Amino acid sequence: MFKSLFLLSFLSIIGVSSAFAQGAATAPDVLARTVTEEVLQILRSDKELQSGNQKKARELIETKIAPHFNFGGMTRLALGRNWSAANPEQRKQLTAEFRALLVQTYTASLVLFKDQKIEYRPLKMAPTDTDVIVRSLVRSSSGGEPVQVDYDMEKTDDGWKVYNVKIGGVSLVENYRSTFNTEVTKNGIDGLIKTLREKNRALTQAK
């Protein structure tokens, strides 16, 4: 269930991350709404994306989404206390594999969300804020209750970055933490790296 809700929020992630990248002159929620509609239009009109062209989908992910996520921060939160036990090289590998896992998940689900409607809530943000929550509701074209999707974002030297996503109040990062902790307890940090690498390889071969 959590995974399906996570995928349901995909397009609103595009809007938030791209909007913040455009600048701070306009309210972030306004920018997010504008950019989301632009991306939805691409998905609705691009026949190759609609037919499941994975190469083109991945290119869209890499250019529109990935640059605006703090994957290092997300990996650190997902590891929790085990992050401090990892050496610099292990942290680098963990971040790379976790990033690959998330990107592949986005790529595989891209064409599923062209008919979603995203509503952004009013943003509460002071001029000096460096950490904000952007809130949205994702509505399905088939009806049903909307899903609340919140984005924790921080201001970095490279601009605003998403470092966590909460879907219906459940944290994407913390959802991975239990699995990661179990793997580290059983097989150590290197065991988790191996597991993530094998999962990514299997996902790649399945395409």
Domains and CATH numbers, the chain: 2-205 (3.10.450.710)
Alpha helical stretches, state H, 22-157: 28-45, 47-50, 54-64, 71-79, 88-109
Percent of the chain with pLDDT over 90: 27
**pLDDT tens-digit series, residues 163-173:** 888 888 888 88
- Angle, helices 88-109 vs 172-205, to 10°: value is 80
Give the whole-angstrom CA distance, residue 102 versus residue 206.
16
Indicate if the alpha-carbon torsion angle 20, 134, 59, 40 is positive or negative. Answer: negative
Most confident option among 9-18, 53-62, 179-188 = 179-188
One-character DSSP codes across 18-47: HHHHT-SSS-HHHHHHHHHHHHHHHHHH-H
Check residue 113 and give its pLDDT: 62
Percent of the chain with pLDDT over 70: 76
Is residue 9 predicted with pLDDT exceeding 80? no
Check residue 127 and give its pLDDT: 83
Which tops the pLDDT comparison, 175 or 60? 175
Task: Decide the pairing of beta strands 147-156 and 159-167.
Answer: antiparallel
Mean pLDDT of 57-70: 78
**pLDDT tens-digit series, residues 114-160:** 567 778 888 888 888 888 888 888 887 777 788 888 888 888 787 77
pLDDT band, residue 23 (cuts 50/70/90): very low
177, containing H or E segment: helix 172-205
Give the whole-angstrom CA distance, residue 123 versus residue 136.
10
Question: pTM, whole model, 2 decimals?
Answer: 0.79
φ, ψ (nearest 5 deg) of residue 11 = -70, -30
Give the whole-angstrom CA distance, residue 39 versus residue 64.
9
